[in-house]
A and B are shown apart, each in its own frame.
Chain A
Amino acid sequence: MSKIIIVEDDTFLQGLASQKLSKEGFQVVAISDGNQAYETIVKEKPNLVLLDLMMPGVDGFQVLEKMNADSTVKGIPVIVFSNLSEDKDINRAKELGATEFMVKSNFTLDELVEKVKSVLK
Chain B
Amino acid sequence: MSSTPTNQTHDPLEHETVSVLAHQLRTSLSAMKWILKMFIDGDVGVLTPEQHGFIEKAYGANERMIALISEMLALSKVEGDGMALHKVETNIITLIDDALFDFTSESFKNGIEVIFLKPTERMPKLFVDPAKIRFVIQNFIENAIKYSNSGDRIVIAVEKKESMLEISFKDTGIGIPTNEQSKIFEKFYRAKNACAKEEIGTGLGLYTTKNIIERHGGSVRFESTEDKGTTFYFTIPQSAE
Contact = CB atoms under 8 A, between A and B. Distances in A.
B3 interface: no
A106 interface: yes
A71 interface: no
Interface in B33-87: 33-35, 37-38, 41, 66, 69-70, 73, 77
Interface in B2-49: 19, 22-23, 26-27, 29-31, 33-35, 37-38, 41
Contacts of B22: 83, 85
Q: How many residues of B sit at the interface, in one of the four size bands?
A: 20 to 34
Contacts, number: 73
B134 A83 contact: no
* Chain A interface mostly: helix
B31 A100 contact: no
Contact of B73 (A54, A85, A106, A107): A85
Interface stretch (B99-107, B159-167, B185-193, B227-235): B99-107
Interface string B106-149: 10110000000000000000000001001000000000000000
A111 interface: yes
Interface of B: 19, 22-23, 26-27, 29-31, 33-35, 37-38, 41, 66, 69-70, 73, 77, 98, 101-102, 104-106, 108-109, 131, 134
Given A13-B31, A86-B73, 7 more contacts: A86-B19, A91-B98, A94-B101, A101-B105, A103-B70, A108-B33, A118-B108
